[in-house]
Amino acid sequence: MNDYIDLKDVPLDEIVDKLTYAGLEVDEIDDRAKKFEKIVAGFVKEAKKHPDANKLSLCIVNNGYEDLNIVCGAPNVAAGQKLFSHRWGL
């Protein structure tokens, strides 16, 4: 449907209602966006070795709203990378 009309700002229940009123039967709703609600994208602005641990890095990561200080255990983290992470506590 997105190929024909812009639905990004229309709530899912409103789309279902409009389809039903148009005479189309909606059997099932698979809201794939829910699978990604707890995923956060970030940009590694800076990455340097942790002073007290050989296998850790200290990173400054921007999540689109603020810069965060992150201790990272990934051996391949580097400035300029884009990353995705699970948002804990949600």
Domain chopping of the chain, boundaries:
12-86
How much is the pLDDT for 90? Answer: 43
Q: Going along the chain, which residue ranges are E strands?
A: 39-49, 57-62, 67-72, 82-86
Residue with more model confidence, 58 or 9: 58
25, 27, 61: which is closest to 43 by C-alpha? 61
Can you tell me the distance from the alpha carbon of 30 to that of 61, in angstroms, rounded to the nearest whole number?
32
Q: What is the pLDDT of residues 13-67, one digit of tens each?
A: 898 999 999 999 999 988 887 888 888 889 999 999 999 999 999 999 998 899 9
Query: Per residue in 70-90, pLDDT tens?
Result: 999 999 999 999 988 877 654
Domain 12-86 CATH assignment equals 2.40.50.140: yes
Q: Work out the burial of residue 70: count CB atoms within 10 Å of its CB; fewer than 13 is exposed, 13-18 middle, 19 or more buried.
A: middle
For residue 3, give the 3-state DSSP assignment: coil
